[in-house]
Amino acid sequence: MKRQFRSIFLVLFLCGSGPMTQPALADPPPTLAPRTRCQTCGMFVNKFPNWVTMLKTSKDYRYFDGMKDLMVFVLNSEQYGVARQDIEEIWVKDYYTLDWVDGRTCFYVVGSDVYGPMGHEFIPFATREGAENFRHDHAGQEILAFSAISKQHVESMRVGQKMR
């Protein structure tokens, strides 16, 4: 009986939704100074704390008012004085839980009826299931992995943007 219980437990653990299938949580970022500005557009990021994103370089932390502006920075990092290989970590907040998660492992919904502080936004989710639910509920057009986000995606979302 004990052996049977151990076998069942092992199968459930290996196949279940235990720690092996959970997305990696990022360490919380340093506390934001009240007047911290987005590195791309200059907006005060503390005005919209649920949308704040961040990256860590080999030298410092950079903050953004959303994933769209973070991607402008990442895709053009040399223009901002940072070599792409110096970007060590990217942190975003899962839209539903507001937990900090590794932005490179997230799924992003585009083309939904939800807008960020400056209009259209990549809406981040730690799990594909969360992204699918959101896409269904909010008329999202597409779900992208971090590696699939292109300059064309970013630029198409920036057309006509303005601060809210």
Per-domain residue ranges for the chain?
Answer: 33-158
Q: In whole angstroms, how far apart are CA 100 and each of 40, 143, 149?
A: 20, 19, 20
Q: How many CA atoms lie within 13 A of 79 on its CB side?
A: 8
Give dist(CA 119, CA 156) in Å, integer: 11
pLDDT at 162 over 70: no
pLDDT at 3 over 60: no
Q: How confident is the model at residue 29 (pLDDT cuts 50, 70, 90)?
A: low
pTM here is 0.80
pLDDT at 42 over 60: yes
Q: How confident is the model at residue 25 (pLDDT cuts 50, 70, 90)?
A: low
Tally of CB atoms within 10 A around 46? 15
Under 8 Å CB-to-CB from 80, ≥6 apart: which residues?
A: 39, 73
